[in-house]
Structure 1
Amino acid sequence: MTAVFLGVRHHSPACARLVAHTIEELRPAYVLVEGPADMNDRLDELLLGHRLPIAVFSHHRDDRRAATSWTPLCEYSPEWVALTAGRAAGAELRFIDLPAWHPAFEERANRYADAEARYAEATGRLCERFAVNSVDALWDELFEAQPADLAERLDTYFDLVRGDTEATPGDRAREEYMAAWVRAALAEAGGRPVLVVTGGFHRPALRTLAASDGPAGWPTVPAPPEGSVGGSFLVPYSFRQLDAFVGYQSGMPSPGYYQQVWEHGQRAAADGLFRSVAERLRARRHPVSTADLIAARGLTAGLATLRGHAAPSRLDVLDGLAGTLVNDDLDQPLPWARRGPLTPGTHPVVVELVRAGSGDRVGTLHPDTPLPPLVHDVAARLAGLGLAEGRPLTLHLTDPADLERSRVLHRLRVLDVPGLVRTEGPAHGADPVLTERWEPGPAAGREAALIEAGGYGASLPEAATAALALRLGADGPGPAGLLFDAVLCGATGLAEQVVAALAAGIRSERELGPLGETLGAALGLWRHDRVYGVARSPLLAEVIDGAVGRVLWLAEGLHGPAGPQPDRLRALAGVRDALLHAEELLTVSRETAGLICRRISEDERAPDDLRGAAFGLRCALGEAADRAAAVRAAGAPERLGDWLGGLFVLARGELTAPGATSGDDADVLLPVLDGLVTAMTDGEFLTALPSLRQAFAWFPPRERERVARSLIERRGLRGSARSLLRTTADPLLIARAQHLEDAVRHRIDRHGLGAAR
């Protein structure tokens, strides 16, 4: 009664051949495979006539976390060969790993991500010993190009790289669970052998654990926590998703190349890679002559001989092609000299070499494959609304039927399902646009995306609601965009959960920018929406009230670096609009807001733009204030522009409209400002000029012309105010100067040397 443990690298043709050969020779009673044990009663579904690659997509959601996981399989995956060859040999098949929802997988999105980073020290020594640059090159050198004595060399390799490495708690839980399956299979095998196929990292531990005492009988499959939602479905996968060059942790690079190795052998795969590279480069009009290809083949053959390969390996071919076809200096190593995705700036020829090796194959599921309810729900909705054909659409949002079509399309959009793409439509709640234009977009991956979206819910509204809720607090669009997405997807019942979560999040938000975006979006919808049915909604009232109070609280306590920050200025502008147009919603009165803003405007520790904005908010609310004195007290010349920038954002119209520069002493902003600038020395003026330019950039051209006319009249001069706003400089020179300024600003920001703006 024996157990044979095969430690493999996932998606390795050499390991797949070893598994097939071992099953043929061993004729085991059981074939145990690293894979989700909750799929054991669905192995017939998995082994339908799919076109690989495919993956088992698993999802789980409860009050604590939401998780998704993929278990990808292609024709040369050792796990797939173990299943198909095992069934052909009459063996009983079992997946023996924990389900994907289990906390053991909490920090990984892929079951087969046994990342070599955990044993980088051992692989680093091996790379140095065999004079290769990466673990992928090491694997090719030791196993793919050297098929003899493969099993013994694999055992030695994985014993070495595992060594004394301490497994994570998740890995220990998985290995103990897998070992329990091995012990049960040995007990049931009746003396016949049991074959265990797992990732090589687990093999040393499994051999020890399986030999120890443990509970008898087959392990139970853990059940998800009560109240959680989860499940597993098969999805189409692609070679691009399998490729280590796009970031797949446990992937073999160049899966298209290895598919050819699996089907036709290494020499034929090398020939196929040559053809694919030539076709791709010529299709992109990159000059590739026959002489270039002959030279590349010669260099490849020389490299293979030098490296002791009977047939050219993948690296031989890639190095030969790069050495011949790349005629420029490269500012970074070739991507196959390391592990990881391509980096920005990779040479275009090198990009095509990588993509040629990756291949374009996309898997398809057998027609009898069960699909999640969401797929059928979406198909029915699209057919019922006349959206199934995927033609361009213009939707009139005031038409109830078109509004429902829009909601369905937006729900698919927030679920990241490829298809129609919106090219025109309202950008926010106050946007007066009442039509949308949708154009067909790339549909690749639509079936897989729909199946994966089924993890959010059984119906389209339910799935969209769950997807939006999970975006709260995650990377991606801010709360304002999330709120508008909820409204676009259908406010009734759909926005309530998101709005409630937004209202709760507002109370703990620490940045003025996101608060201002949320306040602007909610206020715009509350005031102006006439399409989506949320105008004057009590749901939005809570968000508006909470955001106003939080913005004022944060603004009063803000002491930080100088320099204008438009985000915080827009936040105070949102407070102004709420006080002027929705005061009945607010617990903060105009009087209280005015007192807070007075304290901010008089606080010398507050940023200058915020002080100016607070004073502007007082003016916008009609509060009597000595405006001339406030301008004179704004600060030194280098601070004046920032103060004015904040002031203009909040109260430009009240202070510079016709009539605001005449009358009593309270309405003399421009004359006082003119006097301050005139009194500056040349040095002071040059210091103040950049921030003054930024401040007056808030004025549209017509208002700038009015300011210029006022200044001309004050001096008793005649002339065109418009001419003061124009320059005689060469526009191309100005454009080059702007480009230089942008480049310098980007460089300063990249190195963290600039002041906050």
Structure 2
Amino acid sequence: MTVTFLGVRHHSPACARLVAETIARVRPAHVLIEGPADFNDRIEELLLGHTLPLAIFSYQRGEAGSRMSWTPFCDYSPEWVALTEGRAAGARVRFIDLPAWHDAFADRGNRYADAELRYAEATDRLCREFAVDNVDTLWDHMVEAAPAAGLAERLAAYFDLVRGDSVAPDEVERERYMAQWVRAAREDGGPVVVVTGGFHRRALITLAETGDTSWPTVPESPGGVGGSYLVPYSHQRLDAFEGYQSGMPSPGYYQRLWEVGAERAATDLIESVVTRLRGRRQPVSTADLIAARTLSAGLARMRGHRHPTRTDVLDGLVSALVADGLDQRLPWTTRGPLLPGAHPAVVEMVAAATGDGAGRLHPDTPAPPLLNAVARDLADLGLDGDGLVRLDLTDPDGLRRSRLLHRLRVIGVPGFHRDRGPTSGADPLAREDWTLSDSPHRLPALIEAAAKGATLADAATTTLAESDTDVGSLAAALFNAALCGLPELSEHLGDRLAEGVGDARDLGALGQALAVALGLWRHDRLFGVAGDAVLGVVISAAAERALWLAEGIHGGPAPADRGRIAAVAALRDAVRHAGAALGIDARPVVEAARRIGLDHSAPPDLRGAAVGLCWSMADPVDPGVIPEGASVLGDWLAGLFALAREEVLRAEVLPVLDDLVNDLSHQDFLVALPALRQAFEFFPPAEREAIAKRLLARRGLTGSARALLRTKTDPLLLARAAALESHVDDLLTREGLLR
């Protein structure tokens, strides 16, 4: 029996048309498709009547960790057309690739990631030959914009060239498995159509000639928990500009190409871009619109296209609508996500080409247990609506509702946003405000979260347990575990944190861990971890390590590092509030801080923080340690104010600081001003006003200190203006023109 091998590019309208035409002509008995063979018994789920795009989401969770994979389909995916047209023609339709959990997909989150991206030498050579920027533009020129006649032959030649002679072992394993399906279908009788990525076509033709002709068995799962479910997908998730290495970028444009053809798709893209720009209050005239159409058509003719392609249209739009210089390459001339800083008009062009299409599953689609569990819990606690929710964490019911919402937040389910609430264990706030809103992304997020666990508590536990191993990430996960009400996980994370602090290299991250552990240990009776022994071990070890790291930091002037300043504050708080209970001796801490404060090789912000620690521990250092120099003064003060804000207000240090600032030249003051402003941000408004009153009084001036703090003009601009005036005065004096 005949076997027709169709090598396609995933998500290509031209390839999808070729598949439909071939099935209509051949009338096959079997249609074999590159896709997860373990889903064959559930193909009827794909045909329930969904709105595309959608994806088969597969996961496997075991002792070695979790593995997740997506097999996406849109209306113009050749695999989807093979499935639907094959079924309509009466063929037996099967997926023939290995399951997503198989080791052949170990480094691939998406089954249909382009193989040719891994074999760029051939595609680069073709791009140079055809004078195009990248493989997507090359594909449009050779396939989407080319006549349909001879397409199968051109595809075969292209993919044979891309494949070359060297193939990765994981690809070979997949191809051997798929070839057995082909041999079995041929043996079963009737014409066979095989639809796979073009990269595999040549190998399958060879491998299908001889070998076992029995129907393959689906490999058994290696154990653990796993499953596959349909999830709604979107054009945004399919787009290469969003980071998905799909067969085609700009899915919204290709959707229109599939539905209405190239000429109308080009016109629709131009109109969509103009509509988006006008909606952003960007002026686009009728003349601009005519120019964009004219330029797109001219580029198409110059490049040998019957109708404008995607890049013809986008290049024409840029020429007509963007008058500014561009700081980076146009995104469609390369591959990958849209980079920050792109021109606003270019951003809208990319968004219009992406489209806003979103899939919807049929109501009868099977769902993982997590969805029903979450829906039930939300309804039971009155959280299944929209709007503002205010919770009292001292109330048992409020605490239960808070924990449920935090678990949803942790696993990344959209529509649950906390507006206000405690940000650390030391935060006295015992209320939370949440905004609940419906989101089209909630269903796919919950289905995908099922890979982490069958219940919300299990999913949140798995998510937090997989946190990075650095102490900062572990500290954040520990606090989230407390908010989620997961005591066993809190103990586990506390043990990991205790092990990690001894090897910490980053003082800022270590300080974050110390602050979180100390806050929970001191205050969190709300979350049930106050006085926890494991947290006590973390605090003791982190305090010792922080002291060691602080003494080892050296370097010249640099912007104040708030992370390391906060670490010194956390060290001080550990001595103050846990020293007696945990045996942390204050004396060596203060002595080390005094050494750092006097060490001119230490960064200014760290020296200021060390002096502030001494003052706040009733061991004042002589104000003579205040450094001179515009480049370091502000950073030194940032450290000091962060640690000894109240002591500074009480001590006689303000006159000394005032004199230092007053002695700065205009130029030096401009240099120091940004850091000085940052330093004084450590004072709340009332205390800044108190400082302003004292400074006015010291100069014998009257007036409103509050008004002094609320200038309508940026103080930095005022300082620059004063410096400019001084410079002009000096120049006039030197030239004898000032009288």
Residue of structure 2 equivalent to 1:719: 700
Q: Confirm or deny: 8 A CA contact 2:385 2:437 kept in the other structure.
A: no
TM-superposed deviation, 1:208: 3.6
Matched, 1:197 2:190: no
Counterparts in 2 of 1:482-493, with a 5 A limit? 482-493=477-488
Q: Confirm or deny: 8 A CA contact 2:598 2:607 kept in the other structure.
A: yes
- CA distance in 2 between counterparts of 1:379 and 1:232 reads 20
1:559 to 1:28, Cα distance in 2 relative to 1, 3 A: same
Cα-Cα RMSD: 3.9
Residue of structure 2 equivalent to 1:159: 160
* TM-score (ref. length: structure 1): 0.83
1:645 to 1:85, Cα distance in 2 relative to 1, 3 A: closer
- CA distance in 2 between counterparts of 1:172 and 1:279 reads 48
Q: Confirm or deny: 8 A CA contact 2:475 2:512 kept in the other structure.
A: yes
TM-superposed deviation, 1:238: 0.9
- CA distance in 2 between counterparts of 1:683 and 1:145 reads 65
1:151 to 1:414, Cα distance in 2 relative to 1, 3 A: same
Q: Which moved more, 1:432-441 or 1:42-51?
A: 432-441
- CA distance in 1 between counterparts of 2:327 and 2:431 reads 48
TM-superposed deviation, 1:519: 1.5
Matched, 1:397 2:393: yes
- CA distance in 2 between counterparts of 1:142 and 1:262 reads 17
Q: Which amino acid in structure 2 is aligned with residue 155 of structure 1?
A: A
TM-superposed deviation, 1:699: 5.4
Q: Confirm or deny: 8 A CA contact 1:295 1:324 kept in the other structure.
A: yes
Matched, 1:234 2:241: no
1:221 to 214, 218, 224: 218
* TM-score (ref. length: structure 2): 0.85
Residue of structure 2 equivalent to 1:136: 136
Unaligned runs of 5+ in 1: 662-668, 741-757
1:61-89 superposed Cα distances (whole Å, 9 cap, x missing partner): 33333332211001211111122222233
TM-superposed deviation, 1:135: 1.7
Counterparts in 2 of 1:369-380, with a 5 A limit? 369-380=365-376
Residue of structure 2 equivalent to 1:246: 242
TM-superposed deviation, 1:703: 6.3
Q: Which moved more, 1:449-458 or 1:560-569?
A: 560-569
- CA distance in 2 between counterparts of 1:657 and 1:301 reads 71
Residue of structure 2 equivalent to 1:150: 151
1:438 to 1:738, Cα distance in 2 relative to 1, 3 A: farther
Residue of structure 2 equivalent to 1:17: 17
1:451 to 447, 471, 483: 447
1:739 to 1:52, Cα distance in 2 relative to 1, 3 A: farther
- CA distance in 1 between counterparts of 2:76 and 2:313 reads 21
- CA distance in 1 between counterparts of 2:114 and 2:705 reads 67
- Local SS of the residue matching 1:159: helix
Q: Which moved more, 1:348-357 or 1:686-695?
A: 686-695
- CA distance in 2 between counterparts of 1:462 and 1:723 reads 58
- CA distance in 2 between counterparts of 1:66 and 1:372 reads 16
TM-superposed deviation, 1:332: 4.1
1:737 to 1:26, Cα distance in 2 relative to 1, 3 A: farther
1:688 to 1:590, Cα distance in 2 relative to 1, 3 A: farther
Q: Which amino acid in structure 1 is aligned with residue 229 of structure 2?
A: F
Q: Confirm or deny: 8 A CA contact 2:556 2:601 kept in the other structure.
A: no
TM-superposed deviation, 1:701: 7.0
1:585-634 superposed Cα distances (whole Å, 9 cap, x missing partner): 535433454455466557665445445544554554456x8x33xx5567
TM-superposed deviation, 1:580: 1.3
TM-superposed deviation, 1:578: 1.2
- CA distance in 2 between counterparts of 1:739 and 1:357 reads 46
Q: Which moved more, 1:67-76 or 1:692-701?
A: 692-701
- CA distance in 2 between counterparts of 1:359 and 1:711 reads 59
Q: Confirm or deny: 8 A CA contact 2:185 2:192 kept in the other structure.
A: yes
Counterparts in 2 of 1:360-439, with a 5 A limit? 360-439=356-435
Residue of structure 1 equivalent to 2:340: 344
Q: Confirm or deny: 8 A CA contact 1:479 1:517 kept in the other structure.
A: no
- CA distance in 2 between counterparts of 1:391 and 1:730 reads 38
Residue of structure 2 equivalent to 1:555: 550
1:538 to 529, 533, 555: 533
Q: Which amino acid in structure 2 is aligned with residue 368 of structure 1?
A: D
- CA distance in 2 between counterparts of 1:446 and 1:414 reads 13
- CA distance in 2 between counterparts of 1:616 and 1:392 reads 42
- Local SS of the residue matching 1:182: helix
Q: Which amino acid in structure 1 is aligned with residue 358 of structure 2?
A: V
TM-superposed deviation, 1:216: 6.0
1:8 to 1:608, Cα distance in 2 relative to 1, 3 A: same
- CA distance in 1 between counterparts of 2:24 and 2:685 reads 82
Q: Which moved more, 1:676-685 or 1:697-706?
A: 676-685
TM-superposed deviation, 1:373: 0.6
- CA distance in 2 between counterparts of 1:97 and 1:272 reads 37
- Local SS of the residue matching 1:392: strand
Residue of structure 2 equivalent to 1:751: none
Q: Which amino acid in structure 1 is aligned with residue 196 of structure 2?
A: T
Residue of structure 1 equivalent to 2:54: 54
Residue of structure 2 equivalent to 1:583: 579
- CA distance in 2 between counterparts of 1:520 and 1:373 reads 38
1:641 to 1:371, Cα distance in 2 relative to 1, 3 A: closer
1:710 to 1:204, Cα distance in 2 relative to 1, 3 A: same
Q: Confirm or deny: 8 A CA contact 1:544 1:585 kept in the other structure.
A: no
TM-superposed deviation, 1:508: 2.8
- CA distance in 2 between counterparts of 1:103 and 1:199 reads 19
TM-superposed deviation, 1:383: 0.8
1:633 to 1:737, Cα distance in 2 relative to 1, 3 A: closer
TM-superposed deviation, 1:99: 2.1
Q: Which amino acid in structure 1 is aligned with residue 419 of structure 2?
A: T
Counterparts in 2 of 1:613-692, with a 5 A limit? 613-614=609-610, 616-618=612-614, 620-622=616-618, 627-628=621-622, 632=624, 646-651=639-644, 653=646, 656=648, 658=650
Q: Confirm or deny: 8 A CA contact 1:34 1:97 kept in the other structure.
A: yes
TM-superposed deviation, 1:196: 2.4
Q: Confirm or deny: 8 A CA contact 1:491 1:533 kept in the other structure.
A: no
TM-superposed deviation, 1:426: 2.6
1:322 to 1:725, Cα distance in 2 relative to 1, 3 A: closer
- Local SS of the residue matching 2:119: helix
- CA distance in 1 between counterparts of 2:451 and 2:425 reads 30
- CA distance in 1 between counterparts of 2:719 and 2:438 reads 36
Q: How many positions carry a matched residue from both structures?
A: 717
Q: Confirm or deny: 8 A CA contact 1:509 1:515 kept in the other structure.
A: yes
Q: Which amino acid in structure 2 is aligned with residue 138 of structure 1?
A: L
- CA distance in 1 between counterparts of 2:336 and 2:463 reads 29
Residue of structure 1 equivalent to 2:731: none
Q: Which moved more, 1:525-534 or 1:633-642?
A: 633-642
Residue of structure 2 equivalent to 1:34: 34
Q: Which moved more, 1:251-260 or 1:140-149?
A: 251-260
Residue of structure 2 equivalent to 1:468: 464
- CA distance in 2 between counterparts of 1:465 and 1:301 reads 56
1:502-529 superposed Cα distances (whole Å, 9 cap, x missing partner): 3333333211111111221222233233
TM-superposed deviation, 1:712: 10
Q: Confirm or deny: 8 A CA contact 1:243 1:251 kept in the other structure.
A: no
Q: Confirm or deny: 8 A CA contact 2:13 2:76 kept in the other structure.
A: yes
Q: Which moved more, 1:361-370 or 1:637-646?
A: 637-646
1:32 to 1:561, Cα distance in 2 relative to 1, 3 A: farther
TM-superposed deviation, 1:374: 0.6
1:666-723 superposed Cα distances (whole Å, 9 cap, x missing partner): xxx789x68996999989998996778876765567767888999999xxx8835999
1:724 to 1:127, Cα distance in 2 relative to 1, 3 A: same
1:554 to 1:285, Cα distance in 2 relative to 1, 3 A: closer
- CA distance in 1 between counterparts of 2:349 and 2:158 reads 30
- CA distance in 1 between counterparts of 2:695 and 2:352 reads 66
- CA distance in 1 between counterparts of 2:366 and 2:417 reads 28
1:598 to 1:181, Cα distance in 2 relative to 1, 3 A: farther
2:351 to 344, 351, 355: 355
